[in-house]
Chain A
């Protein structure tokens, strides 16, 4: 117990210290974690921690990351990416593997070893690249999307590669390893254990089982999750929802492992299926912290597992191999970017970001060693190359950020405008009697909205009308983040609870000052609170309808409708003036009855209102009456005796 606490503490401290430092220096979190890993590696060695097994555990972060990526990707969007997914991804893997194989042959490896090396090194690091792209907000750029296509293809390609590698086994290594080879399956794609239940089935049976499992994920995601989450949401306990989200991801990963498929692929599919669900943002913000911590742990283990003695033993060779590999991979990607029309700065982003070898490289290398494909001595050097290339990747991102991106940003100003963000420019928090009307109005006016509400029964009804609404507590900053508050122009705060409204307004105004806030006020006093909290527009929930009711009464009493309208306008104008005068005196820290200036002013206003009620306030009537008043008889007489100054003389 003490050991686990101590090791956890070491890992956490390393991350907590190194990541902010790296971010401060503009190096990005990935490099921070890697450096933290290197820094604590002596400690871990002293405690006897098995870094490799921690790494396998941490790789689950990649599974979660792909689930999150899937959530961001609607099926329609995925379908529209199919050409790139297969073309770009397929060509990248095939061409890179071929060239690496050729290089390995040239360096004197046997063809089977060379082929295995080619396949292993063709893959890139999903963890580093997606994490960095997300962090820098580049996922939705053309280069980011291209990179994602390639990574997704690679993730799927791991499965056939895993199937192929045992066929490349070297007879002499086989002999040396007799007995221990079966252990190789333990790392089936790295994310699961040796649980594959499809052993012993014929090929077509296996295929059938796999298709069935994918069907379960898609079907379950489409039809089962909604009632399930609805049921869970009824409990109104946040942690149960988090637990349910974890059950979903872990369960799918388990199912995929059982049938011999990639867990990352399974959770990715589940994410895509749920991308249109109203629970999407809630799932996103629930899984996000776990993903972040696991990926961080993974990067730390990469740093910690770095074999310095071996590196310094073969310094020139390892460095040469690493740089050569990265140059080769970048060159292939650059060539493909021409073929697939990735232009400008995006081309360089695409080429540089994917130039490393990836975490699958670790998995596949241990798998090849276990299957007697690559000699252990070669594999150890390759492990170092993989790790070193990952270590260098943040440097390439920095190169892109500091040197390449500014050059293209200066060149063409209209490139940024092409990007379309998925999230609506307007976030509506609370879709009840108030927010619902605002949403309907905006949708009919053609604006995209993102709606957050915490009543799942409510959302169920709305879905029937085809609205896109999301489940979640809008007062939670992470959910707001998931809903895209950073990119939003406007936030309508239409929650039911008075305190929640004020808290959310205050949060948005403080944390996201660029967002225009329109807030629902429960009553007069709440208006003052919201005014102090900084809301731009404060709209009382019942005021306008009550005023309209009053207008209807005036009309029913015989007022001409336009006369009634003018009285109402004057009333509203006067009320707003009073409200503004009192709001300026309101101090959130002083109770209303102790605020002497406020009390004084409100007495004044009350007296005025009372006078108006008793018909004593002539000012009100005068203001209403002012328009279209005919001149008095005296005015008329004066007018008629007047002559045009320019036309003096008798009329």
Chain B
């Protein structure tokens, strides 16, 4: 059993379609830590000691959020700025997160082909995620391939929402049960509901 912690962040939770459904599914999974950052800290006053203790108690940290302006919602940035302290997460003596895994689960409004040199987003999605990837590296954490839904705004209308939510649930249970093949995932830029490398699922 791997200890999994999910940090969910969506400032417009009540009008979200995809992320709210994903959060509802994730928060119901047994044996997994789930934190809605905007619900816990509606005034952004993050309790650093509490969050650091939470990090120490878990092995896999999964951030679930919609991609806003090529980055995370602001509270995740605030969380990083405060919780990943020097001497705790990085720098001299900062090895408390050594060996843990950071993973992202994000939704992007643009379609997959937009995140190509010829697409209107111009860069591959992973390029926009390099700050997070490097954050993980500096904290001596493994950065796992993110679980992504492209074209998220259209997903409820064209039948892609339910498979994505179900895949999210499978992903969470697999990590919890040590059935998720992180090594195999390393071979992908991103993983989706269809490509999740879960052992024992064939």
Contact = CB atoms under 8 A, between A and B. Distances in A.
A109 B67 CA distance: 102
Interface in A580-620: none
B67 to A, nearest CB: 12
B15 A629 contact: yes
A644 B122 contact: yes
Interface string A256-296: 00000000000000000000000000000000000000000
A647 B122 contact: yes
Interface in B59-116: 68, 109-111, 113-114, 116
B8 to A, nearest CB: 11
Interface stretch (B38-46, B49-57, B125-133, B141-149): B38-46
B11 A627 contact: yes
B119 interface: yes
Given A627-B12, A629-B15, A631-B109, A565 B153 contact: no
B39 A560 contact: yes
Contact of B120 (A561, A630, A644): A644
Contacts of B12: 627-629
A137 interface: no
A560 B109 contact: no
A633 B120 contact: no
A647 B39 contact: no
B157 interface: yes
A636 B153 contact: yes
B118 A651 contact: yes
Contacts of B151: 640
A562 B11 contact: yes
Interface string A615-651: 0000000000101111101001001101110110111
B111 A640 contact: yes
A199 B146 CA distance: 100
A563 interface: yes
Interface residues of B, number: 29
Nearest to A551: B42
A564 interface: yes
A640 B109 CA distance: 10
Contact of B15 (A562, A628, A643, A646): A628
Interface in A532-588: 559-565
Contacts of B111: 640
A563 to B, nearest CB: 5
A541 to B, nearest CB: 22
A630 B42 contact: no
A636 B42 CA distance: 29
A650 B113 CA distance: 11
Which residue, of A627, A646, A651, has the highest number of chain B Cβ atoms within 10 A? A651
Categorize the interface residue count of chain A.
Answer: 20 to 34
Contacts of A565: 42-43
Nearest to A644: B120
Given A560-B14, A561-B42, A562-B39, A630 B118 contact: no
B116 A651 contact: yes
Contacts of B122: 644, 646-647
Contacts of B157: 633
Contacts of B113: 651
B118 A650 contact: yes
Contacts of A630: 15, 17, 109, 153
Given A565-B42, A636-B153, A560 B13 contact: yes
Nearest to A630: B153
Contacts of A559: 14
B39 A643 contact: no
Interface string A208-243: 000000000000000000000000000000000000
A627 B157 CA distance: 23
B154 interface: yes
Contact of B118 (A625, A629, A639, A649): A649
Interface of A: 559-565, 625, 627-631, 633, 636, 639-640, 642-644, 646-647, 649-651
> What are the 8 A-B residue pairs with the smallest beta carbon separation, nearest first?
A628-B12, A562-B38, A565-B42, A561-B42, A562-B42, A644-B120, A561-B39, A560-B13
25 contacts: A559-B14, A561-B38, A561-B42, A562-B11, A562-B42, A563-B13, A625-B15, A628-B10, A628-B11, A629-B15, A630-B15, A630-B17, A630-B109, A633-B153, A633-B154, A633-B157, A636-B153, A644-B118, A644-B122, A646-B122, A647-B119, A647-B120, A651-B113, A651-B114, A651-B116
Given A563-B14, A630-B153, A642-B120, 16 more contacts: A560-B13, A560-B36, A560-B39, A561-B39, A628-B10, A628-B11, A630-B15, A636-B109, A640-B111, A640-B151, A643-B120, A644-B118, A644-B122, A646-B122, A651-B116, A651-B118
